[in-house]
Amino acid sequence: MGAGLEDFEPWLALWNLVPEGDVMSMPVTRSRLLPVRAGEQAAMLKLAHSADERRGATIMAWWDGQGAAPVLAAQDEALLMVRAAGDTLTSMVRAGRDEAATVILCQVVARLHAPRERPPPAAPSLAQQFFALSQSDDPTLACARRIASKLLEAPRDPVLLHGDIHHGNVLDFGPAGWLAIDPWGLVGERAYDYANIFANPDLASVTPDRFAARLAQIARTADLEPARLSAWAHAHAGLSAAWHAQDGSDPAAPRAVLAILEETG
């Protein structure tokens, strides 16, 4: 076995998998990934680092390939899913195809939110997601806190949310199309799953013109009120800025969204 493969060994043996690359560590969640071959199928083996990540695996299995990457097997902290291949939405945006990338994101979210015959797995409420913002004493986030509080007090159209939709979490699976990975799993207003799009995939994407174009496109495609969608974008940008303050990372993208909203609002 190569370096870093020790923790993967039980799952490689259980599911008869062959490693096809190096172990990768996810920067925020610290879960680990290993490209593998399951028979003729290119797959990804993920070892969850937290209970939240394990819940995400359960939700992936419940989605059953409808809007999310197909799950081949799951047990305890291990998740085996089909491996993506092909283009990325980030490269699509950087090539000047932002509208096409946004269409794909909206289509994927709609599939994830579609009704299923089986009840969804248990998941925490969206209100819990906003703890960092609600506890922040940063005066520059006061408006975002007020907006978030108002939205959370009277949610509309509650669904099981992915919780972290952005250009890096929707991948090209070839004939199966574009599908989501790495859900957080929350229960709340469906508009929230579109809010993170505005600050992604990078700071260069956050401009007043692009924000306005995305707002109109998403509202039309997802049948959302533009003002309500804009409010969720404001609340999420505040939350993201609060998270960045907690971990000392760069808040430039969510701060740019906040600046656009405060300038136009």
Per-residue pLDDT averaged across 222-251, rounded?
97
Kindly report whether the peptide bond that precedes residue 226 is cis, defined as omega within 30 degrees of 0: no
Catalytic residue numbers read 164
| The predicted structure's pLDDT at residue 264 | 83
Q: Tell me how many degrees the CA angle 253-194-140 measures, rounded to the nearest 5.
A: 40
CA dihedral 238, 240, 243, 247 (to 10 degrees): -130
Q: Which residues of 120-134 are buried (b: 16+ CB within 10 A; e: fewer)?
A: eeebeebbebbebbe
Whose CA is closest to 189, among 154, 218, 227, 143?
154
Q: Read off the pLDDT of each residue in 9-28 and give the average, rounded to a whole number.
A: 92
126 vs 29, residue with greater confidence: 126
Cα separation, 181 vs 21, in Å, equals: 19
Q: Look up the pTM and report it.
A: 0.94
pLDDT at residue 86, as a whole number: 82
CA distance 113 to 98: 23
Please report which confidence band the pLDDT of residue 53 belongs to, taking 50, 70 and 90 as the band edges: confident
Asked if pLDDT for residue 163 goes beyond 90, the answer is yes
Domains of the chain, each with CATH number or no CATH:
6-82 (3.30.200), 89-264 (3.90.1200.10)
Of 19-33, 65-79, 117-131, 234-248, the range with the lowest mean pLDDT is: 19-33
Q: What is the mean pLDDT of residues 45-49?
A: 92
